[in-house]
Amino acid sequence: MVLNLKATAQNTYDAIVVGSGISGGWAAKELTQKGLKTLLLERGRDVKHVTDYPTAQQAPWEMTHYGRLPLADSEKYRLTQRNYSVNEGNKHFYVDELESPYVQTRNEVFVWPRGHQVGGRSLTWGRQVYRWSDLDFEANLKDGAGIDWPIRYKDIEPWYRYVEKFVGVSGTRENMPHLPDSDYIAPMQMNCLEKHIAGKVQQMYGDRRMIIGRVANLTQPVGNRGLCQFRNMCDRGCPFGGYFSSNAATLPVAMQTGRLTLRPQSIVLNVLYDEKTKRAKGVTVLDAETGKTYEYFAKVIFLNASTISTAMILLNSVSDRFPNGLGNDSGELGHNLMTHHKTSVHGRYEGFADQYYYGRRANGIYVPRFRNVTDKHPDFTRGYNYQGGASRPRNNPSEGPGFGAELKEYLSRPADHWEMGLTSFGEQLPDHDNFVRPSKTVKDKWGVPVPEIHFEWKNNERQMSKDAMTQAVEMLEKTGFTNVRITIGNPEPMSTVHEMGTARMGRDPKTSVLNARNQLHAVPNVFVTDGACMTSCSSVNPSLTYMALTARACDYAVKTRP
């Protein structure tokens, strides 16, 4: 039963934002700072910065299972574990798949880790932040995949600068046109082996370079957030605010304006459409704790629930005008689901046994894309990058003294060799045949139809992943590694958590869902600025682009609202 049938002062706002993750947090910050009374709806529980990070300061021996995921929880995170290291220290930030399942009709290739809580996946993301370039924004037009982006790098470049200043990005300027530079805070440093291999790669290959990752961890003060402590425990929540998250950065600013109302445990079922005004007027919300249903109203609505969840909300928003989902005149809503495919290769290095490193750097190395940048590869279009790093492994207890003081001393020393891994992140082409829709048979704990995902890798992704593995093996072997082995990718690449598409931007309402300003073509007061809006997926991590698109769309929404 819907309890709020009329718009009243208690349930009416200037703006509604759905989802409190990276893009939703930015929408809440921007809209409130620009004067709008904003309601932020989060389907999961509240998570307060610092106080709701229960394991952030715990050592493994202070946990019941020494940090390992209890066997009793394995089914709750069966799929998520394939992409993320779900463990005793971070499991509370991941969705229970028994309560909130999803259906895959073709295979189980697609892995969809979720974080239903205030802050969403901004509490567990990898924090790698890179600008896209026109190599990405022009790709669809040039090679004929999907449709053309309605924007170019010049349209979003000022907004990259705007959000980077607030986020704080650690990195180095490299003067690579297809990986644009920013104004960085001090970079983290490569360790001795990484520096050595970076020099070898540049010497041996004219088309590739190994650099330190560009990461949203603070090496210098930004605002009133603390510095990264080099603990590498980011996925437990950072009480120092040393990495960028909604909880540590954007939401506190929004709250300080006095214009933000945060409502957790609020599952948005649909967007309400007004046939007379031809605009959205609000949303229907299911209270996850009480089971009661409410309506909230606003003149501006931002959907930032994540790629698949945003598509589900729009597909469930049916009316006489939109029988197939809000804004779905093109028939593309829910389609063109993309993610990055990944492979991993590891090797052993003998040498530098007299050197070590300080702390646990929350970052790695990065090898920017080198395929199809200047020369065309004969087997596939687009490209991939590598992320990874080198470290000294621990000594193996089974190879040391049996017990006692000698064993303790042995285990306190690093092994006499190094290990290095390279993980590729490759671009997937947009394909109408990869899509999501509401299941007709399966519902979640709250009685809401779950996503039904139709997804598979195509030949371009398979050929690219083969090349990524081959090149990673070659680079490690040529630079001196032994025991080089493929750990992920054979026979099939793995999916990542970088899902995109489902409500793509475009120039033509007949082939796209959103316009160049992230508005639904047919319902201009509804904006989508999470991963659903993406027209292609690049090989570059997408979160920084979500932030920039969100800030840009908020600026436009406020300036043009009635």
pLDDT (tens digit per residue) in 25-44: 999 999 999 999 999 999 99
Would the pLDDT of 101 be above 60? yes
Distance between start and end Cα atoms, the chain: 31
Q: Nearest 5°: CA angle at 182, between 180 and 186?
A: 130
Could you give the CA distance from residue 372 to residue 385 in angstroms, rounded to a whole number? 12
Do 347 and 488 share a structural domain?
Answer: yes
H or E segment and range at residue 475 = helix 459-478
Are residue 358 and residue 478 in the same domain, yes or no? yes
On the question of pLDDT at 74 being above 70, the answer is yes
What angle do the packed helices 153-167 and 543-560 form, to 10 degrees?
100
Percent of the chain with pLDDT over 70: 99
Q: Which of 439, 471, 492 corresponds to the end of one domain?
A: 492
Residues 107 and 31 in one domain: yes
What is the band of 406 on the pLDDT scale with cuts at 50, 70, 90?
confident
Domain stop point among 476, 492, 508: 492
Q: Are 36 and 136 in contact (CB under 8 A)?
A: no
Domain count, the chain: 2
User: For residue 363, is pLDDT > 80?
Assistant: yes
Indicate the DSSP class of residue 335: B
Cα 144 to the center of its chain, rounded Å: 26
- Do 381 and 234 sit in the same domain of this protein? yes
One domain, residues 99 and 206: no
Residue 397: which domain range? 169-243+341-426+458-492
Confidence of residue 57 (pLDDT cuts 50, 70, 90): very high
| pLDDT at residue 388 greater than cutoff 70 | yes
Confidence band for 405, pLDDT divided at 50, 70 and 90:
confident
Those residues whose C-beta lies under 8 Å from the C-beta of residue 225, and which sit 6 or more positions away, are 168, 218, 240, 241, 242, 248, 249
At residue 1 the predicted structure's pLDDT band, cuts being 50, 70 and 90, is low
Amino acid at 70: P
Residue range 411-459, pLDDT digits in tens: 888 999 999 999 999 999 999 999 999 999 999 999 999 999 999 999 9
485, 547: one domain: no
Residue 256 lies in a domain: yes
Are 276 and 419 found together in one domain?
A: no
Q: Does residue 416 fall inside a structural domain?
A: yes
Shared domain check, 188 and 214: yes
Whether residues 315 and 351 fall in one domain: no
Model confidence at 500: pLDDT above 80 = yes
Assigned token pair, 206: 């004219």
Per DSSP, 248 falls in state I
Same domain, 421 and 323: no
Average pLDDT score over the chain:
96
On the question of pLDDT at 4 being above 70, the answer is: no
Tell me, yes or no, whether 4 and 103 share the same domain: yes
Average pLDDT in the 230-257 region?
Answer: 97
pLDDT tens digits, 271-330: 999 999 999 999 999 999 999 999 999 999 999 999 999 999 999 999 999 999 999 999
The answer to the question of residue 147 being in a domain is no
Flag whether 144 is in a domain.
no
Q: Output the six-digit token pair for 305.
A: 């629930």
Q: Which two tokens stand for residue 308?
A: 């698949």
Q: Are 389 and 534 found together in one domain?
A: no
Let me know if residue 199 belongs to a domain. Answer: yes
CATH of the domain at 250: 3.50.50.60
pTM of the predicted model as reported, rounded to 2 decimal places: 0.97
Residue 143 domain-assigned (yes or no): no
Final residue before a domain boundary, out of 440, 467, 492: 492
Measured CA to CA, the distance from residue 300 to residue 16 in angstroms comes to 6
Residue 132 placed within a domain = no
> Is the residue at 149 inside a domain?
no
